[in-house]
Chain A
């Protein structure tokens, strides 16, 4: 939990554990109750016709007509595993291989999730980059446990993942990939601006995302701090926008499910930059920011 670290003294392990917990637990819930981009791969006629025929002895007709229930079961099972692994993030310690193994399995599924989302988005590189923090934050925890949360490798990885995520986000916002309608809609609904203003706002934000992604990779402490603080604020706001913009009293739970989970699954977008800010602002003797 934040502030519970006895070794670090700055709460970094707690923030990382909380981030990994929320990322995995909420992703797990989204698999369990909702859906998974893995479905796109499993339902790719080009990719799956042969494996389905070879392994299941089914032609594509039979598979496409009947696979829904089995895929749903599979995603639910993965969801439960991710949720368990998320809780396990609080208990992973150096030397406890069982916990580390679980974390690594969860990491594999997180990365697989990012790959599937990339596949679903027709290989738009922005999608893969945007998921960098969500996909690899279990690795960050593992590095922290193995090497220490103030270790240069930990900080370098955190900065790199944050940069990749914000570059990915920026590629959509500036229109390198088609600007998602949901981005514009969220801006309109949350900020009450016109569609044109929302698109301009996103473009500015997109360029800022790209700028801070570069700045956080520079060796200058002030640049890293400035970029990190921006990422904390913007990452938090964009995550929060999910649940705010989709609040709907007409539907079950007022839209909190799935949108609260979509918000929390993005915790890494602001919490890992926060960790970077903490580490750079108050370096330990082992931390090398520049």
Chain B
């Protein structure tokens, strides 16, 4: 009995302690929030819930007076009260603030002051800073709180929250959300302004965001940061993307884009979700993609899908090579990078709809950390699950990366760099080849800008200006905007007859400026080029069935590094590998649950690879890892962690064959490791089988353009003319013969063109090659013909190149004549 009483007392003490700890001096005010919806250099809105009593007053100053209210130089009474979502929301709009300055404040009501908070206004001049962007914090509070705590550790200038704060737009969920948001407040009281966006789960309409954060009725606006350094657009994808919002966006970009270095946009619904079950954002794409491109929007934050993605710089296009309305365009200064898609604390969805123009995709709790510099923005995707082990940035060091911070490291790199465009995000019209732009006019000094996209392999590019009156001149640059005094090509004749010819243009964007030396009118601009031979997409066998594999058949756990590059000393054997069926090329030890296989394959120009396909023969279950990442798991395998003692869930038929594709983003340039574990359903199983082929679909790069021209000129009939085929059956692929200056359709091969040993002043390797810029020559060296490595000119050999008619004769001379060196020469399509 005594024990029970003492237990009750202990419980009472505990409850009292809890109440006291959550009832500090700010008992009448809580759920604080700091919002930027106006000039962040001079304003900030302090919001809170007034629990009881009359509205409080904000006392603020540039000097920290702690909770000594009377010492604060300024005070601001409540500008707006909203009784909404079960809270009495109060907002005090602080104005007339100094840029890049810390402001300390307390919220004071009848019961006294709150704890002392502070924030920093945004700089008014170009100065590097950091901000955080992300969305979807609904229904998964644990990572939501972790992400919130990471905000205070990273100390960004602000947070762009791209919608779906809550799951159900009702009182309780908002209370929880604001309670959790308090965890963004640093221990020293610093608050981080939020730019709230509306998501579809803010289903109460635009008023929800406006009344809880005091932003704007339509939930769309734009703010400058760092003077002309960056402008951030908060857009609303829950209302028409066109209409009033679209007109405002077009007008604002027209007014501001030309002076801003970095243009960023945030909104909720993605144009092209990375999740298959999500419909495409037709309205957003139609109304915004072209506008973003025309005005040079650099970086877009999307949300909604509960997954992660990064794209290459994209331009909207429905032309050849485009996928779902976009093509990648690294050379286009107005191209836009899209990132997202909403993992601040929401149940995760598989990123199963990656596009060829995506750099990477994944599925984990995260947000984007952006460092903004004068010449670039660096985007890192921060994994929030390891928040507990993360240190913290010191005040004033918001560009640091605290110890323990887990940053996503996809194959394309941990840091996504979005380059600045030199502050010239001016409106650039599209110029189509063969489609004149008539009736150009302007006053003296007027600059009209156009962009022409030149495909790979095009030739004889010509820009012409003609007709009309006055005097306009023509300036052209590849990739960057031309200036009158800084351009690659220019024509400044009297009058309007200007012509610029470029014999071998680069692939990508050419930027054209028509500038009035005097007033001009009625002028026509046109561009022509010789179209390239478009290389067709083609399937290339990376390795066939029956290839050699290293294997581990001891029934034990493999070396932990078995999915990584490097030798492990495993035995080798050709496929099919297994036991029990009698059709194996390599017989393995029987009666184990798990078998492990690995091999590597060298792939180059992986940007051209649009599909990676595996042709798997297995029995009973298999998991395929590509470069250490699980890329595929057969349905017969259980979910969750798998080890050498894990059986397959079900037994499948003999030699079951499965063809499937994996995400090309998992590939890396150069050596790729394919690791496969095959599991038996039980140790009593009579057999196990494994073999694998890998095929990649290449879009075809510039490298084969010259070859295809050769094909068109030398062989009109159809046949085995694909680069990887062997038309004349001499064992050398067509492209290689072409590269060595041979005719792949001539059955007689000139052996002297192929690499051979010659002895002049010393031993050397000599071969003939075709001087085609589409061919990259790979020279490898080895001491034993087993381990090959890239040869380095100047260290391993020197190279002599002599002209031989239309071809070149090349000699590779080893620098160290004291030891034996083997050479391997490989022509590779660029």
To the question of whether A and B form a pair in one complex, the answer is yes
CA distance A55 to B279 in the complex (A): 32
* Residue pair B238, A181 in contact (C-beta under 8 Å): yes
B794 at the interface (CB under 8 A from A): no
Q: Are A248 and B279 in contact (CB under 8 A)?
A: no
Q: Which of A35, A65, A245, A248 contacts B277 (CB 8 A)?
A: A35
Query: Which residues of A have CB within 8 Å of B325?
Result: 248, 250-251
Contacts of B826 in A (CB 8 A): none
Given B242, B282, B348, which contacts A251 in the complex, CB threshold below 8 Å?
Answer: B282
* A44 neighbours in B (Cβ, 8 Å): 139, 167-168
Contact with A along B791-821 (1 / 0, CB 8 A): 0000000000000000000000000000000
Q: Size band of the B side of the interface?
A: 35 or more
Cβ-defined contact, A188 with B240, below 8 A: yes
**By the criterion CB–CB under 8 Å, are B203 and A250 in contact?**
no
Partner-contacting stretch, out of A17-25, A67-75, A282-290: A67-75
List the B side residues contacting A245 at CB < 8 Å. Answer: 282
Q: Judging by beta carbons under 8 Å apart, are B348 and A248 in contact?
A: no
Given A60-B142, A251-B280, A255-B282; A68-B238 close (CB under 8 Å): no
Q: Pick from B142, B168, B207, B350: contact of A68, CB below 8 A.
A: B350
Q: Contacting A64 at CB < 8 Å: which of B139, B238, B278?
A: B139
| Bitwise interface map of A from 13 to 39 toward B, beta carbon under 8 Å scored 1, else 0 | 000000000000000000001110000
Nearest-Cβ distance from residue B38 to partner chain A, whole angstroms: 24
Please give me the residue from chain B that is nearest to A43 by CB atom.
Answer: B347
1/0 per position for B343-371, CB-CB distance to A under 8 A? Answer: 00011111000000000000100000000
What residues of A have a CB within 8 angstroms of the CB of B283 in the complex?
A: 185, 189
Q: By the criterion CB–CB under 8 Å, are B349 and A258 in contact?
A: no
Contact A66-B241, Cβ < 8 Å, known A251-B282, A251-B324, A255-B282: no
- Residue among A46, A63, A251 with the highest chain B CB neighbour number at 10 A: A251
Instruction: Return the contact of A66 from the options B167, B282, B639 (Cβ within 8 A).
Output: B639
Q: Mark A112-124, 1 if CB is under 8 A from B, else 0.
A: 0000000001101
- Binary CB contact string for chain B from 290 to 322 against chain A (1 if under 8 A, 0 otherwise): 000000000000000000000000001010001
Proximity string of chain B (623-658) to chain A, C-beta cutoff 8 Å, 1 when within and 0 when not: 000000000000000011000000000000000000
A4 lies within 8 A of chain B by Cβ:
no
User: Within residues 60 to 111 of chain A, which ones have a CB less than 8 A from any CB in chain B?
Assistant: 60-61, 63-69, 72
- Asked, given contacts A43-B139, A68-B347, A251-B282, whether A181 binds B240 with beta carbons under 8 Å apart, the answer is yes
Check B239–A184 contact: CB distance below 8 A: yes
Instruction: Answer yes or no: A219 CB below 8 A from chain B CBs.
Output: no
In the complex, the chain B residue whose C-beta lies closest to that of A246 is B282
B569 at the interface (CB under 8 A from A): no
Q: Assuming the A-B contacts A178-B203, A178-B205, A255-B280, are A68 and B243 also in contact, with contact meaning beta carbons closer than 8 angstroms in the complex?
A: no
B286 CB contact (under 8 Å) in A45, A60, A66, A248: A248
Closest to B140 in A: A64
Report whether B282 and A188 are in contact in the complex, using a CB–CB cutoff of 8 Å. no
Residue B282 contacts which of A63, A64, A248 (CB distance < 8 angstroms)?
A248
Asked if A185 and B280 make an inter-chain contact with CB atoms under 8 angstroms apart, the answer reads: no
A188-B243 in contact (CB<8A): yes
Return the chain B residue nearest A72 by Cβ: B277
Cα A255 to Cα B363 with chains together (Å):
26
**B204 neighbours in A (Cβ, 8 Å):** 122, 178
- Chain B contacts for A45, CB-based, 8 A: 139-141, 167
Q: Which residues of A contact B640 (CB under 8 A)?
A: 66
Q: Nearest-CB distance from B257 to chain A (Å)?
A: 23
Interface string of A156-190 (1 = CB under 8 A from B): 00000000000000000000001101001100110
The one of A34, A68, A121, A248 that contacts B203, using a Cβ cutoff of 8 Å? A121
Residue from the set A178, A245, A255 with the largest chain B CB neighbour count within 10 Å? A178
- Report B162 CB to chain A, min CB distance, Å: 16
User: Given the complex, which residues of B lie within 8 Å of A194, measured CB to CB?
Assistant: 243
Closest to B318 in A: A250
Dominant SS at the B interface?
A: loop
A196 CA / B218 CA spacing, docked (Å) = 13
How many Å from the CB of B271 to the closest CB on chain A? Answer: 10
Q: Is B83 an interface residue (CB 8 A)?
A: no
Chain B residues positioned under 8 Å from A258 (CB to CB): 279
Q: Size of chain A's interface in residues, with CB distance under 8 A? A: 42
A195 within 8 Å of B by Cβ? yes
| Residues of A contacting B244 in the complex (Cβ-Cβ under 8 angstroms) | 195-196
Chain A residues 193 to 213 lying within 8 A of chain B, measured CB to CB, are 194-196, 198
- A248 touching B139 by the CB < 8 A rule? no
What's the Cα separation between A184 and B246 when bound, in Å?
13
What is the distance, in angstroms, from B143's C-beta to the closest C-beta of chain A? 8
Q: How far is the CB of A74 from chain B (nearest CB, A)?
A: 13
* Least distance between A195 CB and chain B CB atoms (Å): 3
Given known A40-B167, A122-B204, A178-B204, contact A67–B280 (CB-CB < 8 A): no
Residues of the B chain whose Cβ atoms lie less than 8 Å from the Cβ of A189: 283
Chain B positions within 8 Å of A63 at CB level: 347
Is B318 within 8 A of A34, CB to CB? no
Measured between beta carbons, the chain B residues less than 8 angstroms from A195 are 240, 242-244
Contacts of A65 in B (CB 8 A): 347-348
Residues of B near A43 (CB, < 8 A) are: 139, 167, 346-347
B215 at the interface (CB under 8 A from A): no
**B521 contacts the other chain (CB 8 A):** no
- Interface readout for B243-287 with A: 1 if CB under 8 Å, 0 if not? 110000000000000000000000000000000011110110110
User: In whole angstroms, what is the CA distance A87 to B203 when docked?
Assistant: 35
List the B side residues contacting A251 at CB < 8 Å: 280, 282, 324-325
**Which residues on the B side are within 8 Å of A40 (C-beta)?**
167
| B724 interface residue (CB < 8 Å to A) | no
A7 within 8 A of B: no
A184 to B169, CA, bound (A): 22
**Complex Cα distance A215/B169, Å?**
34
Residues of B contacting A248 with CB < 8 Å?
Answer: 280, 282, 285-286, 325
Closest to B243 in A: A195
> B324–A122 contact, CB under 8 A?
no
A249 at the interface (CB under 8 A from B): yes
Query: For residue B166, which residue of chain A has the nearest CB?
Result: A122
Contact residue among A69, A178, A185, A255 (Cβ-Cβ distance under 8 Å from B206)? A178
A251 to B273, CA, bound (A): 12
Binary contact readout B404-447 vs A (1 if CB under 8 angstroms, 0 otherwise): 00000000000000000000000000000000000000000000
CB of B304 to closest CB in A, whole Å: 12
- Interface pair B285/A250, CB less than 8 Å apart: yes
Contact residues of B between 213 and 256, Cβ < 8 Å to A: 237-244
Q: Does B469 contact A (CB under 8 A)?
A: no
Q: In the complex, which residues of chain B have a beta carbon less than 8 angstroms from the beta carbon of A46?
A: 172
Residues B194-215 near A (CB distance < 8 A): 203-207
Q: Could you say which residues of chain A place their CB within 8 Å of the CB of B285?
A: 248, 250
Expressed in whole angstroms, the minimum distance between the Cβ of A249 and any Cβ of chain B is 6
Bound complex: CA A248 to CA B279 (Å): 12
Min CB gap A42→B, angstroms: 9
Could you tell me which residues of chain B, from 132 to 153, have a CB within 8 Å of some CB in chain A?
Answer: 139-142
Closest chain-B Cβ to A86's Cβ sits at a distance in Å of: 20
Docked pose: A124 CA to B201 CA in angstroms: 13
Tell me whether B324 and A68 are in contact (CB under 8 A).
Answer: no
Q: Is B669 in the interface zone, CB < 8 Å from A?
A: no
Min Cβ gap A61→B in Å is 6
B99 to chain A, nearest CB (A): 36
Of all chain B residues, the one with the shortest Cβ separation from A67 is B347
B110 at the interface (CB under 8 A from A): no
24 A-B residue contacts at CB 8 Å?
Answer: A33-B277, A34-B279, A43-B167, A44-B139, A44-B167, A64-B346, A64-B348, A66-B348, A66-B640, A68-B347, A69-B639, A122-B204, A178-B205, A178-B206, A184-B239, A188-B240, A188-B242, A195-B243, A248-B280, A248-B282, A250-B285, A250-B316, A251-B280, A251-B325
Q: A60-B140, A198-B243 are in contact. List 4 more A-B contacts (CB 8 A).
A: A43-B167, A66-B639, A69-B350, A195-B242
- A interface residues, Cβ below 8 angstroms from B: 33-35, 40, 43-46, 60-61, 63-69, 72, 121-122, 124, 178-179, 181, 184-185, 188-189, 194-196, 198, 245-246, 248-252, 255, 258-259
